[in-house]
Amino acid sequence: MAGQSLTRTMYREQIKEVLLERILNGAYEPGERIVETRVAREFGVSQGPVREALRELESLRLVVSEPFVGVRVRAVTLQELGEIYPVRSALEEVAARTAALRLAGEVGALDAELEAMRRIAATGDVHAFMLHDVLFHRLIVEGSGNRTLFELWTSLHVEARTMITYTRYGDLAAIAESHVPILEALRACDAEGASATLREHFEYYARWVTEEEVPAS
């Protein structure tokens, strides 16, 4: 039973990632219907994991389910893209204050994620870059030791929302370097500095995704 659950979960995640990529790159256009049975046939699975993947995409407001119509792709507004940043900022600022002291300057794992971002930026692999970016922030939240905060942060579906942002704008090298002040504040065990740099980080990206032109860094 456990093996079946694991397989179902893996299918759901794989299907969600493929559908997400298609929505972001325009293969599925706003208003277009995603047919559950057709996707299930494509992946050679039952409709169960497809339905679960579509529910996750609906929770991200990327698709909408309509009675007697099915699932259709939503158009994501700039306002929606920007809304997550103040929420993430509030959570990660709290996490950083605690993590700066709990980590006691031991930031090797964060260093490794920054170096991975720098390395991948040169390849232009947005998806791989996003995974390391998200893990960098995840390590800060985990470093706080606050389980409730971590659960709230996880509920934001940070990976998918970050991917949406990076599909719109893609200066990966600049994004990687924007994490340096955060890392250095944590290395110095500077709780207030870590919190402040995270706030500035998210304020910048909130503007970045909601303006027609990317503001100068």
Does the domain made of 2-73 have the CATH classification 1.10.10.10? yes
Q: Where do the structural domains in the chain lie, given as residue ranges?
A: 2-73, 78-210
d(CA 178, CA 204): 10
- Pick 215 or 197 by higher pLDDT: 197
pTM of the predicted protein model: 0.77
Domain spanning 78-210: which CATH class is it, in words?
mainly alpha
CB atoms within 10 A of CB 115: 12
pLDDT tens per residue across span 113-142: 999 999 999 998 888 898 899 999 999 999
Q: Which residues, including other chains, have CB under 8 Å from residue 116's CB and lie 6 or more apart?
A: 132
- Between residues 140 and 74, the one the model is more confident about: 140
CA atoms of 68 and 123, how far apart (whole Å): 44
Beta bridge partner(s), residue 63? 73
Which of 54-58, 199-203, 207-211 bottoms out in mean pLDDT, i.e. has the lowest? 207-211
Q: What three-state secondary structure class fits 66?
A: strand
Closest Cα to residue 172, out of 207, 121, 130?
Answer: 121
Identify any residues that bridge with 73 across adjacent strands, giving them in sequence order: 63
